[in-house]
């Protein structure tokens, strides 16, 4: 394995010169705030579901793997994969109670001839509920700020056809945590656009991954039977922000939706955050 320093290997404005590609900008420690929305089963309290909302404090540390990881080929030449490990820790912001911990890896995968596939990025992770994730996608750069589309928290699926009147009232009249607007419950990505209002973002690197059609989520039987995690979609925006004095800093925003299925309903579990590299 050849040791390297991915961030120093990438010339400014030319991430293609790093073996990590667009992932090179992730290296380091990021901290900040965000929001979390999740509906969970509520059988234990004689209910059907409970909507949980949190204002969050978050820290993600990315560390470059020390060299190339060779994948051996039998029908084509070997390829070398480069990547970073990460540890994500999310706490409830008012109480600092732990909400989520996730170790994982991001990989930069080159194009291949067999199978015939373009270059891609991969995210692998494990979650202590008993879930393992493999998601694949693409990365690219755009000038200026990110395009952040709306994301819906509305549950869907056959079970909604049998839901009684007022079933989703807690979505419309929520007990909001500090800093959360009621409109965020409908569109959690509004928290991201609010966070960058007035900022001068000069460049954005986009990392987009999904567990479908390539990848998946594997769960322990209890999770599968009670709140089956079936799909993940996530977009990370690495933003170069220019201050009024001309100096710059790096900012990471993300939106992530995991679909949990119970009561024959697909419930979006949505997390968003705005983090600064420290």
Q: 233: how many CB neighbours lie within 10 A of its CB?
A: 18
State pLDDT tens for residues 18-42: 899 999 999 999 999 999 999 999 9
Q: Regarding the domain with residue range 6-277, which homologous superfamily does it belong to in the CATH classification?
A: Calycin beta-barrel core domain (2.40.128.20)
Instruction: Identify the pLDDT of residue 4.
Output: 40
Q: How far is CA 216 from CA 37, 120, 211, 228, in A?
A: 22, 16, 5, 12
Instruction: Identify the pLDDT of residue 15.
Output: 54
Residues 12, 209: Cα–Cα separation, whole Å: 25
State pLDDT tens for residues 140-158: 999 999 999 999 999 999 9
Coil, helix or strand for 22?
helix
User: Using CA atoms in the order 271, 50, 226, 211, what is the torsion angle rounded to 10 degrees?
Assistant: -20
Instruction: Identify the pLDDT of residue 16.
Output: 57
Coil, helix or strand for 162?
helix
Coil, helix or strand for 222?
helix
Instruction: Identify the pLDDT of residue 10.
Output: 41
Residues 227, 223: Cα–Cα separation, whole Å: 5
Which residue in this structure is represented by tokens 């209002």?
A: 197
Residue 115, preceding peptide bond in cis (omega within 30° of 0): yes
Kindly give the residue spans of alpha helices, DSSP state H, lying in the chain: 6-9, 169-172, 182-186, 190-195, 221-226
The segments of the chain whose pLDDT lies below 70 read: 1-16
């Amino acid at each position: 394995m050849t040791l390297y320093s991915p961030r120093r290997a990438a010339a400014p404005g030319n991430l293609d010169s790093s073996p990590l590609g667009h992932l090179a900008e992730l290296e380091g420690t990021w901290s900040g705030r965000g929001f979390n929305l999740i509906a969970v089963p509520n059988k234990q309290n004689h209910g059907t579901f409970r909507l949980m909302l949190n204002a969050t404090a978050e820290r993600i540390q990315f560390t470059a793997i020390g060299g190339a990881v060779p994948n051996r080929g039998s029908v084509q030449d070997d390829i070398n994969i480069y990547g970073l490990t990460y540890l994500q820790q999310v706490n409830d912001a008012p109480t600092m109670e732990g909400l989520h911990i996730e170790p994982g890896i991001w990989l930069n995968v080159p194009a291949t001839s067999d199978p015939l596939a373009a270059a891609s990025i991969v995210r692998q992770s494990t979650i202590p509920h008993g879930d393992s994730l493999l998601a694949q996608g693409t990365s690219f750069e755009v000038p200026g700020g990110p395009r952040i589309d709306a994301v819906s928290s509305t549950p869907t699926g056959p079970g909604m056809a049998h839901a009684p009147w007022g079933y989703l009232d807690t979505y419309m009249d929520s007990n909001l945590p500090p800093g959360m607007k009621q409109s965020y419950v409908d569109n959690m990505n509004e928290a991201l656009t609010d966070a960058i209002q007035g900022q001068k973002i000069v460049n954005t690197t986009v990392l987009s991954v999904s567990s479908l059609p390539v990848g998946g989520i594997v769960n322990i039987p209890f999770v599968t039977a009670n709140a089956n995690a079936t799909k993940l979609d996530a977009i990370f925006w690495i933003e170069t922000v220019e201050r009024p004095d001309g100096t710059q800093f790096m900012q990471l925003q993300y939106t992530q939706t995991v679909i949990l299925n119970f009561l024959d309903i697909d419930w979006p579990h949505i997390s968003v955050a705005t983090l600064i590299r420290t």
